[in-house]
Amino acid sequence: MLKINAARELNEEVGVSEEYALNNLHFIGLINDDKTEVGQVHVGVVYECKVNKQLVEVKEDDTLVIKWMTGEEAKAEENYETWSEFLKPIF
């Protein structure tokens, strides 16, 4: 069920077809953060989906900014939300 919802979100937000996402989403792990109020009542589910960047389009341009970066460039960014910071070591 989580994978199905992740595929739907990819389609709604960046135009990746649900079928492609379902076939290419790979479970990475879970994120738990008991240091924040949100983290105390939520768990993060991490998936990876490799896509052709020419097939990605921003569908929610009022809330999303897409920027293609190398892993090292992504690690250097400083404006991540708390849960995204946990992912930096695996970029």
CB atoms under 10 Å from CB of 2, counted, come to 10
How many residues does this entry show for the chain?
91
| Encoded tokens for 88 | 């930096």
Name the pTM for this structure. Answer: 0.82
Place of tokens 């946990």: 86
pLDDT string in tens for the chain (91-residue length):
999 999 999 999 999 999 999 999 999 999 999 988 988 999 999 999 999 888 888 887 777 788 889 989 999 998 888 888 889 888 8
How far apart are the C-alpha atoms of 58 and 6, rounded to whole Å? 16
Query: Shortest CA distance to 14 belongs to which of 71, 83, 61, 68?
Result: 61
